[in-house]
Amino acid sequence: MRVLGIDCGSRVTGYGVIDTDGVDCVFVRCGIIRTKSSDALAVRLRFIHNSIVEIIREFQPEAAAFESLFYATNVQSALKLGHVRGVSMFAAADADLPVFEYSPLEVKSAVTGYGRAEKLQVQQMVRALLRLNASPEPFDASDALAVAICHVHSNRSNKTVAAHL
């Protein structure tokens, strides 16, 4: 099975693609979608959506996994992040992918065994789990791979956010 993990951000959205047989995970690709902060939010959202559509077309994942929203003190940032998650999830659902969601605690626990791990620890464990020669960079990309790994190691049946349309 091929899994697409997405770490949403209004400036930088990370993505990671892995293959799995249900036990082992194999690295396929990771990267980032970087928007221009000078662009209007609607323009950034369209760019993120279109980029995810292209990633899905190129890599043909069978599932998409997202990190759920976390508590944020800045309401404006949380709203922008919600918009990014919305267009990203829509891109996956529109491609008939089942969409799954995991909390930051679940992702960190699945990858490092510790729910309060730092980004560097997550990045190092992603490198080890995927048997990579170098750590995937930047953190947005390694976080997206961590979400995909979390999906593989989690109970999927209770996590579905959107079913096949």
Q: What is the CATH number of the domain that holds 137?
A: 3.30.420.10
3-class secondary-structure state, position 2: strand
Q: What is the mean pLDDT of the chain?
A: 92
**95-112 residue pLDDT tens:** 999 999 999 999 999 999
Domain hosting residue 141, numbered range: 2-162
Assess whether 101 carries a catalytic annotation: no
Kindly state the tokens that stand for 90: 């829509």
Answer for the pair 81, 72: CB distance below 8 angstroms, yes or no: yes
Q: Which of 101, 106, 140, 143 is catalytic?
A: 140
Q: Range with the lowest mean pLDDT among 58-72, 104-118, 144-158? A: 144-158
Answer for the pair 48, 13: CB distance below 8 angstroms, yes or no: yes
Residue 140 to residues 95, 155, 158: CA-CA distances in angstroms? 23, 24, 26
pTM for the structure as a whole: 0.92
Assess whether 67 carries a catalytic annotation: yes
3-class secondary-structure state, position 60: coil
**The pLDDT value given to residue 158:** 42
Total domains in the chain come to 1
For the residues 68-79, what does the mean pLDDT come to? Answer: 79
List beta partners, residue 26: 19
Assess whether 39 carries a catalytic annotation: no
